[in-house]
Amino acid sequence: MNKPKSADPECFSLEMDDRTDEERAKAKAAKKAFGKGCPERHRMPMDTDFLEDHGDIPSQIRFNLNFNKKIQGIQEDHEQRKKVRFDLKRLFEAVSSGNVANLDGLHDYLKHTNKKLTNTEYRPNGKTALLKALLNLRNGENETIEYLLDIAEKMDYLKEFVNAAYTDCYYEGQTALHVAIERRSKRFVELLTCLMDPSEQRDSQGNTVLHALVVVADNSPENTDFIISMYDYILSKDIHLNPRHGNLEDIMNFQGLSPIKLAAKTGKIGLFEHILHREFQDEACRHLSRKFTEWAYGPVYASLYDLDSLDTYQKNSVLEIVVYGTETPHRLEMLQIEPLNKLLEDKWDRYAHRIFFTKFIIYLFYLCIFTVMCCIHKGMKINCTTSYFKDFSKLSFSVRRSSFFQALFFLVAAGLYLCKQDTYVAFLVVSLAMSWINLLYFSRGSRHMGIYSVMIQRMILGDILRFLFVYFVFLFGFSAAVATLLNEPEENSTSTLGRQNATKQGRTLYTQVPDSTGCKEPTYKDIYFTTLELFKFTIGMGDLEFTEDYKYKHVFYLLLIMYIVLTYILLLNMLIALMSKTVEKMSKESTRIWKLQRAITTIDLERTLPQCLKTKLRSGVEKDLGRKEKDLRWCLRVEEVNWNKWNSNLGIINEDPGNFNKMPDSSVRHPGDNSWRGFLRDFSRKRPNIHVYEEEREISPLATASV
């Protein structure tokens, strides 16, 4: 973290001290009571009106201005001294009020005592009077701020004063510019930017003022407009102040995030879109642009988007942050912003869809073999051989890569098979079923099937999961009640005759088995049997004749009616209604979710490629965008149609496309060139592939109306 040398606590300076002995003793006692360190119980507020909560004043060598008065017996008028002297309490109360009249005499007092506003006496926890004034704005104004800056300029420590930062462990590094940004004060942000170097303002997390702007953004229209204007102003102002310093936007914080990456991670979509589409027309700031309009013809224009920090060719790219950020808000919307949308489509069209289709064919071939093996093994004796174990290992490896749980069940089945346990069949069939279900993963390669699969996943994880939870509560509760209510009837001829008649008619599932077999007929005293029977009532297959030999039949019927009403009538119909509502709601979001799933698949497939193929298949084209100096950038060309922006304020590089469509086939990708021959041709080139992405859109004619 960069700090001015004058703000370094290790730098020696001699300060003046005009406190009395009583005030000095009181301050020493307060410091001793405060203690050391930064525990949670001693956490100081960023701003407070109570002097005791301002924290500790650091130790400093001071010169006592009153050392000779006591020796010479000079009696000082305490009332006069109180009117003239500005201690910490009086200074902070004056700047908090916003009234310059309360600071009358401050300049004379500082000159007389040879003090500065940056002295440790006026900086508890590093908070200066300037920070205190900025924290107490009224309607965005505080007249004392200009007065304090004027005093610091006259006494020749203005830079030290504006660069002073908090030293408290919770707010360390927060300067006046950070506070002005947090207060959304455009006037004071512009004022302080002219007085300090924005690149040197970094807090304890390494965040610059641009990071601070990203943090305070909240996606509301008014706030976004303010943040955007301040962002561009600080970015351009820094270039004028430090033309050789570099781009302020390239500075990373301690988490390795630049402002654009932080905006992507925190979901600040308004500011994020502006950064991607930023286009300066001023020649001095043109190199700060991330979008360059190459040519325009009517409402159609081609733009070159800078892919720096965006493409996955670089580590920790914006695309990876958005795609893999499960907790990132608005990531579905951010993937629709150019050039991220076209970049993902370009990757999919160039190579990802071919690799994905190949994996689908391989998995389908494996699945057929696995299914045939499971079907023909029926009736075979368990024979643990080495070759058979190798086959199991190969299948296990393939399954593991497709689905973790599928592979887990398969490995358990293989282990039980080797131990000669017949129960391996149960795990094997579950693995087989999950293998076919996992085939839905490849539906994301098709738009219509992918959207349909997204709806199914949302219903299973949402409506059906909640339905099953409530249903199992009802099912288990009523099963326990019925099992407790019904007692086994005594054996008598009447009941036996009734069961025999029921058996002949085929109306009951469980029948009386002759005693010679040693089997016992299941009854409703068994909660497992009761649960199965009540489940049959849910699907309309229940049987009521078993209650003829039980007591409390009326209570049982009452419980049964309640159960059917709550489950068969209420829950099932509610599930249907919720699923209909989910389909209606998902009709707008399903396309975006499908695109997100395909984006995840695309980047996953890209990660499997070796570095040499990543270089050859890299999206975009290298362009020299500099006019006076060389400025090579890797850009993605996107053709867009905007009827509202018709050839107005465009920084055109080329007047028209020219012979753009006559470029060699090696650098232009035709929409129909999706064959394997075209794919293999990309690998055979000796030079890096220069890919120009074109989006063809049909432009509807202008609507005509009779006058």
- Residue 707: pLDDT above 90? no
pLDDT at 428: 84
Question: Is residue 316 exposed (0-12), middle (13-18) or buried (19+ Cβ within 10 Å)?
Answer: middle
CA distances from 684 to 520, 615, 689 (A): 75, 13, 10
Residue 625, pLDDT score: 81
Given the structure tokens 């017996």, which residue do they identify?
Answer: 73
- pLDDT given for residue 77 in this prediction: 61
Quick one: pLDDT band at residue 2, thresholds 50, 70, 90?
very low
pLDDT average, residue stretch 529-539? 82
Mean pLDDT in residue range 305-331? 89
Q: Report residue 493's pLDDT band, with 50, 70 and 90 as the boundaries.
A: very low
Burial of 601 (0-12, 13-18, 19+ CB in 10 A): buried
Residue that wins the pLDDT comparison between 15 and 50: 15
Rounded to whole angstroms, what are the CA distances from 664 to 70, 137, 354, 692? 94, 62, 23, 11
Q: What is the pTM of this model?
A: 0.71
Residue 285 is predicted with a pLDDT of 81
Cα 100 from chain centre: 45
User: Average of pLDDT values for 401-405?
Assistant: 60
pLDDT of residue 446: 82
DSSP letter, residue 637: E
pLDDT above 70: residue 161? yes
317-342 average pLDDT score: 90
pLDDT at position 656: 53
Which one is predicted more confidently, 694 or 365?
365
The pLDDT of residue 661 is 47
572-607 vs 353-376: helix crossing angle, rounded to 10: 120
Instruction: Using alpha carbons, select from 450, 447, 436, 446 the residue that is nearest to residue 364.
Output: 436
pLDDT over 70 percentage in the chain? 69
Tokens standing for residue 21 = 């002995």
The pLDDT tens digits of the residues spanning 411-431 come to: 888 888 788 877 888 888 888
**Distance, CA of 8 to CA of 164 (rounded, Å):** 10
- Find the range with the poorest average confidence among 74-78, 381-385, 527-531, 602-606: 381-385
Supply the pLDDT for residue 274: 93
Does the structure show a pLDDT above 90 at 262? yes
pLDDT digits (tens, 9 = 90+) for 495-514: 444 444 444 444 343 444 44
Contact 591, 451 (CB under 8 A): yes
Our CA angle for 283, 194, 277, nearest 5°, is 40
**Helix axes 424-437 and 353-376, enclosed angle (nearest 10):** 150
pLDDT of residue 662: 44
In the structure encoding, which two tokens stand for residue 427, read together?
Answer: 């795990």
Q: In 73-208, which residue ranges form alpha helices assigned H by DSSP?
A: 78-84, 88-97, 106-113, 129-134, 144-154, 158-163, 176-182, 186-195
Task: Kindly list the distances between the CA atom of residue 386 and the CA atoms of 310, 375, 395, 587, in Å, as whole numbers in the listed order.
Answer: 51, 21, 14, 52
- CA 214 – CA 268 distance, rounded (Å): 7
User: Do 4 and 160 touch, CB atoms closer than 8 A?
Assistant: yes
Q: Residue 355: is its pLDDT beyond 70? A: yes
Q: pLDDT value at position 580?
A: 87
Q: Which of 197-211, 385-399, 455-469, 603-617 has the lowest mean pLDDT?
A: 385-399
Range of 23-37, 156-170, 210-224, 574-588 with top mean pLDDT: 210-224
Asked if residues 599 and 352 have their Cβ atoms less than 8 Å apart, the reply is no
The answer, yes or no, to whether residue 669 has pLDDT greater than 60, is: no
- Give residues with Cβ within 8 angstroms of 519, minimum separation 6: 513
Length of the chain: 707
Q: Binning pLDDT at 50, 70 and 90, where does residue 648 land?
A: low
Instruction: Tokens for 137, please give them.
Output: 């704005």
Using an 8 Å Cβ cutoff, are 17 and 63 in contact? yes
Per-residue pLDDT, 34: 52
DSSP track, 476-487: HHHHHHHHHH--
Greatest mean pLDDT range, 92-96, 262-266, 324-328, 690-694: 262-266
In this prediction, residues 164-176 reach a mean pLDDT of 79
pLDDT of residue 590: 80
Q: Which residue has the higher pLDDT, 576 or 493?
A: 576
Question: What is the structure's pLDDT at 357?
Answer: 92
Helices 144-154 and 186-195 cross at an angle (nearest 10°) of: 10
Query: Phi first, then psi: what are they for 568, rounded to 5°?
Result: -70, -35
Supply the pLDDT for residue 397: 42
pLDDT in tens, 75-92: 666 666 677 788 888 888
- For residue 178, what pLDDT is reported? 86
pLDDT of 395 over the 50 cut: no
Give the per-residue SS3 of 235-268: HHHHHHHCCCCCCHHHCCCCCCCCHHHHHHHHCC
pLDDT at 660 over 60: no
Banded pLDDT at 323 (limits 50, 70, 90): very high
Considering only residues 365 and 88, tell me which one the structure prediction assigns the higher pLDDT.
Answer: 365
Q: How many CB atoms lie within 10 A of CB 387?
A: 7
The rounded distance, in Å, linking the Cα atoms of 364 and 72 is: 102
**Ramachandran bin of 75, using left for φ above 0, alpha for ψ from -120 to 50, beta for the remaining angles:** beta
Question: What does the pLDDT look like over 178-203, one tens digit per residue?
Answer: 888 888 888 888 888 888 877 777 88
One-letter amino acid for residue 52 of the chain:
E
The per-residue pLDDT of the chain, averaged, comes to 75
The predicted structure's pLDDT at residue 676? 46
Model pLDDT, residue 371: 87
**What is the C-alpha separation between 131 and 180, in angstroms, rounded?**
9
Is pLDDT larger for residue 282 or for residue 107? 107
Put the strands of the sheet holding 300-306 in their side by side order.
Answer: 291-297, 300-306, 632-641, 621-624
Q: How far apart are CA 56 and CA 601, in angstroms?
A: 55
Ranked by mean pLDDT, the top range of 43-47, 181-185, 393-397 is: 181-185
Please state, for a pLDDT cut of 90, what percent of the chain lies above it.
10
Residue 227 identity (one-letter amino acid): I
Q: Look at 49-63, 88-102, 519-533 and tell me which has the smallest mean pLDDT.
A: 49-63
Out of 93-97, 228-232, 552-556, 673-677, which region has the weakest mean confidence (pLDDT)?
Answer: 673-677
